[in-house]
Structure 1
């Protein structure tokens, strides 16, 4: 066993000591990555909405013991007043179930992220994309079976998450995509490549939101889940067949090679090593800001529909219409910001990321105190480029750090970001549970404050970069002794 471990470590060290050889495939892999994300987001949008309706209904019937006739309106995309007296109790119970489900669902990815970034330096990026998608597809198939078995209560939804959590889910898949882009893309084009992934996410979410309500109304939750599973099967098939490995030197790996603790040691050693110009501090601060934005995403996403039902009395079709318009505005706003500010005026990634956090803070502040539908749409306008922060932070890191460290850096960000889905449900769901009757906007206010703290973090990085340049400019070259090295 010790000899095997030594051979594995030697392979990793040899892989890291050489310059990476990448597969030259202009446009092909990038297009497949975008298509993968596009189809995956359609599936997520369709399945999450349908499964949310089923969970509300099953909690009402099986857990709170109301009659099937009384609870049946929860299955409909149309909001009626007939469930008004049940709404708070059902939402509280579903929030509790959802918290346990999400913790279980993201525990596996949080652990796998510690290993797979460095593992992919030797064994390739494609497994990090294909295997999580396979797990998501299996979970979608189980969701179809669950939806057809009316005797199963809401707690059975936790079982549906098992394939996803064991294969890494979205967290690991995103690490694989970012590493793949880092292999294939030069630093000058990195911001655009990151945006291309965001565009795919936006388009998939818009289409999923627009077709979800009509499909639910015409064919019901079960068939919508079946369509979602079919979309996942298509995404997996296309990716597995046509996506090329970005590392020509990749060698096949086994399951045993994944859980090699020397991988964690190498990641920590490379990410925590001393760097000049305060780069280590910048890395940690930017990772923290990116992780906090992930915390918000996982905390708010599962509550937005219930918040809109409770605060504004929206039906599912109202929420899906808002979601679609929100994503369209985000797509237009993000595209304009990248083209106008970055391509024309040459504004750097860090500045645009700061603007993005400010946009998100304003969005959640307006949602906190919204009492009418138009105010939610105003918030969507303010948030038109709020989704740029994380991809541009990663783009910025690619430009300031050595290319051989990027897989380890992305793994670190993925590992810390992987903890956020474990923290978000207890934090956000418990806050919503305790304030749903008095101040349901508390979760939105918390999100606004977190975004404001991220702005401060990015300003710290701006100061460190100014300070390092100032030291370099005022120190004679022959007397430079890395005093500003950490």
Structure 2
């Protein structure tokens, strides 16, 4: 019962990610089929693996269309996220959460029409991407959900709640991929999109009818009062002022002077998030194409099983392994959290190296086990980021991070959707080695972050009464303030 009382926005993310992960592989396969039908008949498209040269040409063109869909979604999505993320600090989280869900409903309907009528021009599929982007997209949804969790938790249990929320990505991804594979194979692709529409509609209903608002009326009035006072000092009023003020707050939140080295650490965490999105974009864009290519030549169902196994393993690590570590580690320290992050990154990097080198299905099916700890790093670093800003800056800070990540997703799409076709002839998995290298760079930054954090917070040198004394860390609940005790160095 205690766990049920803790459930708030987790079902929203679960439903949204389930629908999104149902759409991603099916949409890529639909694109692949529509691109092939533009120049070849259906008999060739059904046996494309038997024509290696044609297969490379179709995959290259499909890769470029995937890039166009991402641009149509992420450019408006980035703009709307900067506005809606900061707006959630003033108007509440619930309304902002509903926006991307409505966009996802519209996107599902348009994709369903395009899958019914495969002879429709491919450019009509851009309508779905634009609808999702103009309503905020995944970035705004994530910003509002993470800000909601931050509002309702204190620092003592925030990391665990972030872990629970992150696990919904993997659980939703698992079920979404399995549903997509089975429904597409046993019923039809339009049925997949119809299911996505119903899932997002259910999420909208849950948000509007059941989910309580996380920000109190007092908190929202305080933010609005600040806007009103700023408005009186300026020349602009009304909606235009609100939009510009939200954007200003979003773009400046990470550059405000803060105590100790919080600004530096916040910027380091943003760099880590950007690099992670670059790596993730390569994974998202290429996994379906790579596994459809020879020598793997997987079916839709096999792709769904692989992705589901990977998500199940990561969800288990977040829901079981991480809470167990927190339970048995009675004296948790931020140092231990950093070590756990490094282990998670090493697990992730090893998985991508295996993908790049894989020549058989057996090797690929070991990747979910090897990379199972990858999700822990995101949960720990996300929790740490939320502790470096004030409560009324949460939406703006996460919105700024989401904007940077969206830009990196676009850059990653451009890079990987051009790199993959260029390297198909000599090494189809080369792009995944680049992804692994990006994870390696993140690991180096985290190691430096750990050293700098310990040097500044955990083991500072204090000059007292003309004598140097060492502050020794005796106990840390990493989600609470660090307790330090000054022990004077004894004379020899």
Task: Find the aligned partners of 1:52 and 1:278 in 2 and give their Cα distance.
Answer: 44
| Structure 1 partner of 2:394 | 406
How far did 1:384 drift? 0.4
| Structure 2 partner of 1:335 | 319
| Structure 1 partner of 2:375 | 387
Task: Find the aligned partners of 1:286 and 1:55 in 2 and give their Cα distance.
Answer: 35
Q: 1:216 aligns with which of 184, 190, 213?
A: 184
| Structure 1 partner of 2:207 | 239
Q: 1:30 touches 1:181 (CA, 8 Å); kept in 2?
A: no
Q: Which runs of 4+ in 1 moved over 6 A?
A: 26-29, 251-255, 477-480
| Structure 1 partner of 2:473 | none
Q: How does 1:48-447 map to 2 (within 5 A)?
A: 48-62=24-38, 65-72=39-46, 81-82=49-50, 84=52, 86-249=54-217, 250=220, 256=239, 260-310=243-293, 311-345=295-329, 346=332, 348=334, 349-447=337-435
Task: Find the aligned partners of 1:309 and 1:477 in 2 and give their Cα distance.
Answer: 70
Task: Find the aligned partners of 1:393 and 1:271 in 2 and give their Cα distance.
Answer: 16
Equivalenced residue count is 447
Q: Give 3-state SS (helix, strand or coil) of 2:216's partner.
A: coil
Q: 1:115 touches 1:258 (CA, 8 Å); kept in 2?
A: no
1:246-280 Cα shifts (integer Å, max 9, x gaps): 11223699993586223333344442122232111
Q: Give 3-state SS (helix, strand or coil) of 2:79's partner.
A: helix
What RMSD over aligned residues (CA atoms) do the two structures have, in Å? Answer: 2.6
How far did 1:50 drift? 2.4
Query: Given the superposition, is the C-alpha separation of residues 106 and 259 from structure 1 closer, same or farther in structure 2, using an over 3 Å criterion?
Result: farther
Task: Find the aligned partners of 2:113 and 2:241 in 1 and give their Cα distance.
Answer: 31
TM-score by length of 1: 0.85
Residue 475, structure 1, aligned to residue 431, structure 2: no
1:221-256 Cα shifts (integer Å, max 9, x gaps): 122221222222222222222122211223699993
Q: Give 3-state SS (helix, strand or coil) of 1:274's partner.
A: coil
Extract unaligned runs of 5+ from structure 2. Answer: 225-236, 469-492
How far did 1:452 drift? 0.6
Task: Find the aligned partners of 1:255 and 1:448 in 2 and give their Cα distance.
Answer: 48
Task: Find the aligned partners of 1:396 and 1:57 in 2 and give their Cα distance.
Answer: 44
TM-score by length of 2: 0.84
Q: 1:277 touches 1:465 (CA, 8 Å); kept in 2?
A: no
Q: Give 3-state SS (helix, strand or coil) of 1:276's partner.
A: coil
